[in-house]
Amino acid sequence: MNTVAAQTITPELRRWIVEQAEAGCRPQDVIEAMKTSGWAEDVAVKAMEQTLREHLAAMPPDEADLPPPNVVPEPALLGGTVLMAAGHPVRVLTTMKHPRVIVFGGLLTDTECTGLMALAQPRLARSETVDNNTGGSEVNAARTSDGMFFERGEHKLIQTIEARIAALLAWPLENGEGLQILRYRPGAEYRPHHDYFDPVHSGTPRILERGGQRVGTLVMYLNTPEGGGATTFPEVGLEVAPVRGNAVFFSYTRAHVSTKTLHGGAPVTAGEKWVATKWLRQGVFV
Ligand code: PD2
Ligand code: ZN
């Protein structure tokens, strides 16, 4: 409960102040009413300001105050539970509208998962993330995995998977970044973050030169960890279990928290977790 100069703003008072403001009451009339019920004027003013400030901060942003939405990848679901993507059947296990999240089953075969891990293994190094200020990369304590990037189309297996993803998400293959492989050991995690590049950072314009904003993420699970390692969306209480061959896709129309795409990789509690991530840009990624 909030307290202003030793007077408590009860939930009832908070509701009443907000109701008065929404009904168009003049602030001085609200203060007068509070004074009548025993509030000192300066304390009442502070309480009203604090209540309305907090109320405004908690409100969803008005669409008109946000940058215009970007076009995002979206699979042609057509009401079915199985999609054909470049000749490969993919199951639709779960969908959510806001945030836009789709969980796919059987996107990769066991052989493809094993093949990706084998190709990546010798090139794994402590994961780096994009440095928001310079546009370069840096080791980040929020991400305690090992990782590597494939070049787009670098290997026959990579080409097959990239063509499948492009067909599944109806998004040009050339707009995809190179596939990233991450290996989490027990205790490793990826703390909640957004995958888009926040315009507030000075390095963002530089990053956007290579194909514009990220507009979607596909995280593919290459193994099933013995414990932990879910991909979490803490703002909406969603946890996607990492299951070999399955994948979670989410898109974001703007580089903005209103997309509710805050997500993380929960700590692995037993065994290892391997994922392959494909990030999708607005334009051709160069
Ligand atoms: O490994 C994951 O579950 C995970 C979680 C959050 C991966 C990513 N983000 C990512 O690659 O961006
Ligand atoms: Zn992420």
Evaluate: CB of 277 within 6 angstroms of ligand 1.
yes
pLDDT at position 212 is 98
Identify the pLDDT of residue 89.
98
- Which helix (H) or strand (E) element contains residue 158? helix 156-169
Task: Report the b/e string of 99-130 with b at 16+ CB within 10 A.
Answer: bbbbbbbbbbeeebbebbbebbeeebeebeeb
Question: Is the pTM for the entire model greater than 0.95?
Answer: no
- Provide, rounded to the nearest whole percent, the portion of the chain with pLDDT above 70: 92
Q: 263: Cβ below 6 Å to ligand 1? A: yes
Domain edges within the chain:
3-59, 82-281
Helix (H, G, I), strand (E, B) or coil at 27: helix
- Higher per-residue pLDDT: 80 or 104: 104
Residue type, 145: S
Q: Report phi then psi at 44, rounded to 5.
A: -65, -40
Phi, psi torsion values for 72, nearest 5 degrees: -125, 160
Q: Which of 25-39, 95-109, 136-150, 220-234 has the lowest mean pLDDT?
A: 136-150
Calpha distance 239→230 (Å, rounded) = 6
The helix/strand count (H/E) of the chain reads as: 6, 19
Q: Cα(67)–Cα(50) distance, rounded to whole angstroms?
A: 28
pLDDT for 278 beyond 80: yes
192 lines ligand 1 (CB under 6 A): no
Closest CA to 50 of 79, 9, 10: 9
Q: What confidence score (pLDDT) does residue 1 get?
A: 46
Residues 6+ apart with CB under 8 A from 97: none
Question: Which one is predicted more confidently, 131 or 143?
Answer: 143
Positive or negative torsion for Cα 17, 22, 23, 27: positive
Closest ligand to C-alpha of residue 265 is 1
What atom in ligand 1 is closest to the CA of residue 242? 3
Tell me phi and psi for residue 117, to 5 degrees.
Answer: -65, -40
Between the CA of 25 and the centroid of ligand 1 the distance, in Å, is: 48
Characterize the bridge pairing of strands 263-265 and 190-193: antiparallel
Question: Mean pLDDT throughout 258-270?
Answer: 97
What is the side-by-side strand order in the sheet with 88-96? 82-85, 88-96, 100-105, 247-251, 214-221, 273-281, 180-184, 146-149, 125-126
What's the CA gap between 90 and 222, in Å, rounded?
A: 15
Confidence label for 134 from pLDDT (cuts 50, 70 and 90) = low
The Å distance, Cα 217 to ligand 2 centre, comes to 7
> pLDDT tens, 237-249?
999 999 999 999 9
Residues with CB under 5 A from ligand 2 (ion): 195
Angle separating helix axes 156-169 and 110-120, nearest 10 degrees: 120
Q: How far is the CA of 199 from the centre of ligand 1 (A)?
A: 21
What value does the mean pLDDT of the chain take?
92
Q: How far is the CA of 228 from the centre of ligand 1 (A)?
A: 13
Mutation test residue for ligand 1: of 182, 238, 269, the one with most atoms within 8 Å of CB: 182
pLDDT confidence of residue 2: 54
Look at residue 215 and tell me whether its pLDDT is greater than 90. yes
| Third-level CATH fold of 82-281 | Jelly Rolls (2.60.120)
Q: What is the reported pLDDT for 74?
A: 98
pLDDT given at position 68: 87
pLDDT bin (cut points 50, 70, 90) of residue 62 is confident
Q: Hey, which of 181, 215, 219 would you mutate to test ligand 1's pocket, going by the most ligand atoms within 8 Å of its Cβ? A: 219
CA dihedral over 109, 113, 119, 120, signed as positive or negative: positive
Burial class (CB in 10 A: 0-12, 13-18, 19+), 172: middle
Q: What percent of the chain has pLDDT over 90?
A: 76
Inform me whether the pLDDT recorded for 60 exceeds 80. no
